[in-house]
Chain A
Amino acid sequence: MISWLAQARTGGMLALVAAIALLPLALSNNYFYEVAILVGLNAIVCIGLNLLIGYAGQISLGHAGFFGLGGYGSAILSARYGWPPLAALAAATAAVGLIAFIIGRPILRLRGHYLAMATLGMGVIVSIVVSTEDGFTGGPDGMSVPPLTLAGMVLQGERVWYWVVGALVVAAVWLAQNLIESPTGRALRALSGSEVGAEVVGIDSSRHKLLVFVISAVYAAIAGGLAAHYSGFITPGKVSFFHSIELVTMVVFGGMASTFGAVVGAAILTTLPQALTVFKEYEMVAFGAVMMGTMIFVPKGLVPSLAMMAAACHRPVRSRGSDR
């Protein structure tokens, strides 16, 4: 059993690495690379958000706020104050972690719908600040962002960015998987199972909620900063309430409490609108139909449901074998 678990864990990682390594064979032009990079950046946010929503059972409808703060923070520090972009990205990420820590303390006392409202409010505030503080942010028009430099080399071009983002997705998955299989990760999962049950075995629930909130905010901030430097431009659109909802939808669609599910959810919901352009003006209708269908027929999300189906297919085969 223990070796089997190890296999499932390493097996998933190998599949992810292989997919990222082989994908360029199917990417025939820069546009496809661009979509793949977008998938990767969304996947990083979703891996973090899944730790919060899927594993720890807390909701956030404001994560686009952290994504945007990471992006704008890094953009403002590098464009307006001349910081080296990598230092700006690191500082913005740290600042977002601190902000999440400060606002997480009061709002994580709330539960369920009330927590959803509070995080939503937080996201809306960030969105308003970003669109109105045009001296810093360029307002609704957005601002341009200098490219990322790494050891004197300018990161430019879709191909270079593809490998950078690909490596970061692998790292993000690996860290999240490690966390989940540690005592801290089990404590987080226990919170979503039964908060009082977790408390009575010695788990400080508020401390753990805050921890996972900060971790998920940091994941979002890193992706937001990278997105800004990659595209060379940032607008308030990425900070909007709709983007927050999109991110939560990716997590739920791919499968709650499944790190690989978060990646799959980000991949499908980022590429689906591109694929659905054949429906022309009915594109959004088709998109909505796909989502409703998924929630009705695979309510646990894509990856967990497929894993359960695979397990169910396995079992009868084995029992039939033993009958004979």
Chain B
Amino acid sequence: MSLLRVEGLGKEFGGVRAVENLSFSLAPGMVHSIIGPNGAGKTTLLNLLTGIYVPTVGAIYLGERELTGRPPHEYAAAGVARTFQNLQVFFNMSALENVMVGRYRHERCGLAAALLRFPAQARAESACRDAAAELLAFVGLGDYLVARTDAMPYGALKRLEVARALATEPQLLLLDEPAAGLNPTETGEFDALIGKIAGRGITVVLVEHNMRLVMGVSDHILVLDYGRKLAEGTAGEVRADPRVVEAYLGATVH
């Protein structure tokens, strides 16, 4: 049984086919990677898988449930979380509050309870704060509990987005180029973090350019080129595939 299933997915932008006739499925509890040359449609695919873009054709299923055409917040409610390549941090809030926002779908309360601050509401609030602090420590940002987000370094903000995504308690976590802009040490730390997340039983989808990171952590790799599936399989299989080598190096394989 697959966690996520995509059938005949396509997305056109004014005649340009960013993603075309794409079908694949992702098994639960694994680390999947989506790779491909620049412009292969990776980020478009991620936006399709989180409801930010509505596909032109095709269908997306999470488990048994079809989510095609639903808005992003319904994808989140179904258990899909993500981070962004170009950060979408709430810079008007502290690091801790950013993660507390991530708890939204588990903390929802009535308007009257919120306005009048019922005692149960106040208790839930402090529980939410503790859960958020724990997640910040989990991603290695224990020192940033009260930090202003506009004063945090880039690498820390990338982890903050991971903590916020984890706070939604997702089944599926999509990471959009988490290592872009990070130095080798930070990339190595991210590698370890992905392992820890997978260890919690969360299915991870990694969109990444850094091949060392991808080959090291992935159980399954999907290779895209010009919006189409070029190959898929384990790291070894993908690396040995002549079509992948050609797409990346432009070499004709004889």
Contact = CB atoms under 8 A, between A and B. Distances in A.
A200 B72 contact: yes
B114 interface: yes
Interface residues of A, number: 29
B168 interface: yes
Given A198-B101, A200-B72, A186 B93 contact: yes
Contact of B71 (A2, A182, A199): A199
Interface residues of B, number: 45
B42 interface: no
A182 B73 contact: no
Nearest to A207: B73
A184 B129 contact: no
Contact of A179 (B76, B100, B114, B128): B114
B145 A201 contact: no
List the 5 closest A-B pairs by CB distance, nearest first. A193-B90, A197-B88, A182-B114, A202-B76, A202-B105
Interface string A183-209: 111110110111011111111110000
B89 A181 contact: no
A199 to B, nearest CB: 4
A184 B90 contact: no
Contact of A182 (B97, B109, B167): B109
Interface of B: 50-52, 71-73, 75-77, 81-82, 84, 88-93, 97, 100-105, 107-109, 111, 113-117, 121, 125-126, 128-129, 145-146, 164-165, 167-168
A211 interface: yes
B101 A201 contact: yes
A156 interface: no
A182 B125 contact: yes
By secondary structure, the A interface counts as helix
Contacts of A178: 114-117
A196 B47 CA distance: 11
Nearest to B100: A186
B69 to A, nearest CB: 15
A257 B92 contact: yes
A194 B73 CA distance: 13
A200 B75 contact: yes
* Residue with the highest number of chain A CB atoms closer than 10 Å, among B115, B116, B117, B129: B115
A201 B81 contact: yes
By secondary structure, the B interface counts as helix
A175 interface: yes
A183 B115 CA distance: 11
Contacts of B81: 200-201
Nearest to B164: A201
A211 B168 CA distance: 22
Contacts of B90: 189-190, 193-194, 197-198
Given A178-B114, A200-B50, A202-B168, A190 B93 contact: yes
Interface in A1-30: 1-2
Given A182-B125, A194-B89, A204 B73 contact: yes
A197 B76 CA distance: 11
* Residue with the highest number of chain B CB atoms closer than 10 Å, among A179, A183, A187, A203: A183
A201 B105 contact: yes
A194 B161 CA distance: 12
Contacts of B164: 197, 201
Given A181-B125, A190-B93, A201 B104 contact: yes
Given A193-B91, A194-B89, A201 B126 contact: no
B84 A197 contact: yes
Given A200-B72, A201-B76, A257-B92, A211 B101 contact: no
B72 A184 contact: no
A192 B109 CA distance: 20
* Residue with the highest number of chain B CB atoms closer than 10 Å, among A184, A189, A200: A200
